[in-house]
């Protein structure tokens, strides 16, 4: 059938340690016949699917206009991840050789009737360039491509992050991808892998008070900033009540126990401040970065070194309820003492304001509740 055929493309296999990459050229008009754009989304069970950001139409139009002009050139290689259906066949006639590269050809099966998710390759880098070539009013445009072969989507996501780590890749996209990656990542990303996993679970579990409330690429209607939640989680994991569940040697943690701990505390916050919890940050300092981080410190103050099975929810509720007469989440003024007052929405997500609000809330809860809730 005309829509089922095999591409055999001259290629160079390059050995990098134990890995192999493949350098080749292909008409960019044919790229989408075998390579899919795997946009990030979640299925009904909140499992992460895909890893690419949505196309930026204005950028694509700009590249397209350039491609349709005289003398257009795209020297940077597009990066693709192949699955095991793609095969490299070494050439029988190698000529002069070096020990790290082999001449041959890539054999790529093409079935143009396949849905996107079933194609044998995924675009890791070059989504907008490939879209511009596809849409441009030109007969063909050969491009350089670098590919690697793996069936593990976790590795594809890892490579996507690494390839884009020197560019302005949206942080929200990185945060959502991190829990589902494998392989070596920069130290800054490794540090955030566990917090990112916890944030994703909090946002995806119906029992969580944060369910679909955190703004991420797969939860665009969320109103709590993902970075606010991540900062709260990071501090608690490294210096607060969640540290007890971590293995400092490798950064892993007891995810179930951590989630139980978080859901217990923040469910109380949601129940005590129901109206304030339903409002976006511009209307409520509770869901604002300053509120999320400050109450994270209160969680640490009340539950540090206490495993979740020993925390008494009634004591947590009493401590959080003791804040009600003194907070100004959505209106009024904050009365910090010694004559200092600030309008309710004057508090910002800055280190100084987070510190001021945290110290104020700590004084209140420590007046009527023991520092440790047992």
- The position carrying tokens 């009600």 is 324
Say whether pLDDT at 162 is over 70. Answer: no
Supply the pLDDT for residue 371: 45
Report the pLDDT averaged over residues 168-181.
Answer: 60
d(CA 168, CA 261): 34
- Sequence-separated (6 or more) residues with CB below 8 Å from residue 78: 28, 31, 123, 125, 126, 129, 130, 143, 144, 145, 146
Q: How far apart are CA 245 and CA 263, in angstroms?
A: 15
* Lookup result for tokens 């509740």: 369
pLDDT digits 0-9 by tens, 353-366:
999 999 999 999 98
Nearest to residue 223, comparing CAs of 276, 259, 176? 276
With 0-12 CB in 10 A as exposed, 13-18 as middle and 19+ as buried, what is 306? middle
The larger pLDDT score, comparing residue 292 to residue 98, is at 292
From 35-39, 200-204, 341-345, the region with the lowest mean pLDDT: 35-39
Question: 252-256 long-range CB contacts below 8 Å, 24 or more apart?
Answer: 252/194, 253/194, 255/194, 255/197, 255/198, 255/201
pLDDT of residue 159: 62
369-373: long-range contacts at Cβ-Cβ below 8 A with a sequence spacing of 24 or more? 369/302, 369/315, 369/318, 369/319, 369/322, 370/315, 371/301, 371/302, 372/302, 372/303, 372/304, 372/305, 372/306, 373/302, 373/303, 373/306, 373/311, 373/312, 373/315, 373/316, 373/319
- 192-238 confidence digits (pLDDT tens): 788 888 999 999 899 999 999 998 877 788 999 999 999 999 999 99
DSSP assignment string, 169-231: --HHHHHHHGGG--S---HHHHHHHHHHHHHHHHHH-TTSTTTTTEEBTTBTT--EEHHHHHH
Indicate the pLDDT class of residue 99, thresholds 50, 70 and 90: confident
Please say whether the beta carbons of 262 and 320 come within 8 A: no
Strand pairing category for 41-42 and 87-90: unpaired
**When comparing pLDDT for 115 and 29, which is higher?**
29
Q: Which residues pair with 343 in a beta bridge?
A: 333
* Domain-wise residue ranges, the chain: 4-151, 174-368
Q: What is the pLDDT of residue 53?
A: 53
Task: Please give the model's pTM, rounded to 2 decimal places.
Answer: 0.57
Percent of the chain clearing pLDDT 70 (strictly above): 81
Which of the two residues, 359 and 2, has the higher pLDDT score? 359
Q: 10 Å Cβ neighbour count for 68? A: 14
pLDDT band at 342 (very low <50, low <70, confident <90, very high): very high
Confirm if 266 and 201 have CB atoms less than 8 A apart: no
Question: 263 with 207: CB under 8 angstroms?
Answer: yes
Contact criterion met (CB below 8 Å) for 121 and 86: yes
SS3 240: coil
pLDDT-derived band at 173 (thresholds 50, 70, 90) equals low
Q: Which two tokens stand for residue 167?
A: 């560019």
Q: Which residues of 119-129 are buried (b: 16+ CB within 10 A; e: fewer)?
A: bbbbbbbbbbb
Q: What is the mean pLDDT of residues 122-142?
A: 90
Lowest-confidence segment of 45-49, 123-127, 344-348 by average pLDDT: 45-49
Residue in 361, 203, 368 with CA at minimum distance from that of residue 286: 361
pLDDT in tens, 52-90: 555 567 778 888 888 998 888 899 899 888 988 999 999
């Amino acid at each position: 059938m005309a829509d089922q055929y095999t591409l055999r493309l001259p290629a160079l296999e390059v050995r990098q340690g134990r890995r192999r990459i493949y350098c080749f050229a292909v008409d960019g008009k044919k790229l989408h016949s075998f390579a899919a754009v795997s946009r990030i989304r979640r299925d009904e069970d909140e499992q992460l699917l895909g890893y690419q950001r949505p196309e930026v139409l204005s950028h694509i139009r700009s590249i397209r206009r350039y491609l349709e002009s005289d003398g257009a050139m795209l020297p940077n290689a597009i990066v693709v991840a192949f699955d095991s259906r793609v095969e490299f066949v070494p050439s029988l006639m190698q000529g002069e050789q070096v020990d790290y590269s082999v001449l041959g050809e890539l054999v790529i099966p093409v079935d143009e009737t396949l849905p996107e998710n079933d194609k044998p390759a995924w675009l890791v880098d070059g989504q907008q360039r490939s879209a511009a070539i596809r849409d441009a009013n030109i007969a063909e445009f050969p491009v350089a491509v670098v590919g690697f072969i793996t069936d593990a989507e976790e590795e594809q996501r890892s490579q996507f992050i690494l390839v884009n780590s020197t560019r302005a890749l949206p942080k929200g996209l990185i945060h959502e991808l991190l829990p589902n990656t494998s392989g070596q990542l920069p130290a800054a990303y490794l540090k955030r892998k566990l917090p990112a996993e916890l944030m994703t679970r909090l946002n995806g579990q119906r029992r969580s008070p944060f369910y679909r409330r955190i703004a991420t690429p797969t939860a665009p209607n969320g109103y709590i900033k993902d970075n606010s939640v991540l900062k709260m989680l990071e501090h608690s994991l490294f210096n607060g009540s969640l540290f007890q569940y971590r293995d400092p040697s490798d950064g892993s943690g007891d995810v179930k126990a951590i989630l139980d701990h978080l859901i217990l505390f923040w469910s109380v916050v949601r129940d005590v401040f129901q109206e304030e919890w339903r409002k976006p940050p511009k209307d409520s300092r509770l869901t604002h970065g300053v509120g999320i981080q400050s109450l994270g410190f209160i969680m640490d103050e009340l539950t540090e070194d206490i495993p979740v099975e020993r925390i008494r929810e009634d004591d947590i509720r009493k401590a959080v309820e003791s804040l009600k007469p003194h907070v100004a989440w959505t209106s009024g003024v904050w009365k910090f003492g010694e004559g200092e007052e600030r309008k309710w929405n004057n508090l910002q997500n800055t280190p100084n304001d987070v510190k001021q609000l945290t110290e104020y809330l700590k004084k209140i809860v420590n007046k009527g509740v023991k520092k440790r809730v047992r």
